[in-house]
Amino acid sequence: MTKLSVNINKIATIRNARAGNIPNVLTAAINCQLFGADGITVHPRPDERHIRYKDVLDIKPIITTEFNIEGYPSDQFITLVLSVKPNQVTLVPDAHDVITSNAGWDTVKHRSLLTDIVATFRKDGIRTSLFVDTNPVNIEHAALTGTDRVELYTEPYASAFSGNSVEAIEPFIRAAEVARNAGLGVNAGHDLNLDNLRYFRQNIPWLLEVSIGHALISDALYLGLENTIQMYKRQLA
């Protein structure tokens, strides 16, 4: 069964809109796990506009499932990950000022950098995943870095899904097959939601994990967090 990791960045975004600690991101992480999430994802950015570095340190002790930290591998980020030792680190090529992740790694260009960073994390027993597009060359070179997994950037799939679901999924099936043949585990994330998640999972049955934040937290405003997490889990069954 594909695991659901809930990204709680949006909880922190709401909190940061006002001084104080409402909503409490630690309580959110605890509840997501109680309500059936298989993991918690956070993506601390240098400007700390949602999840703060201190949040990451505070969340670690309360994780009872899996902890996934996403981010660009700056020196500060690497230091944080090595101190927290999450189950998984997902490396993204985000510039510091992007609103959200919007591209995968050029693993040909950055292969040396990524190889060194992956080796650093693996020494501490931290599973690594590289955020990539569906270009098979980038996936093949991701495998050469020593990473354990790749996370497929699914925004193009989500954007095209309502128009032609078959065409939308085709490049992701091919990409997932390339990854599997290269010995990589396959994760996915970005703009997956209750409309498109089941079809994605059905067509890539060896999908290990999805990381979902924006859509899930938005749905929870209307449907309730526990109910929403269970609805997403059913799409992955």
- Active-site residues: which are they? 43, 70, 190
Find all residues with CB under 8 Å of 89, minimum gap 6, and list them: 68, 69, 70, 71, 81, 121, 126, 127, 128, 129
Residue 179 C-alpha from the chain's centroid: 17
Residue 177, both tokens: 């097959």
Rounded (5°) CA angle 52-53-57:
115
Q: Measuring CA to CA, which residue among 196, 193, 187, 191 is closest to residue 164?
A: 196
Q: What single-letter DSSP state applies at residue 62?
A: G
Asked if residue 10 lies in contact with residue 218, where contact means CB atoms within 8 angstroms, the answer is: yes
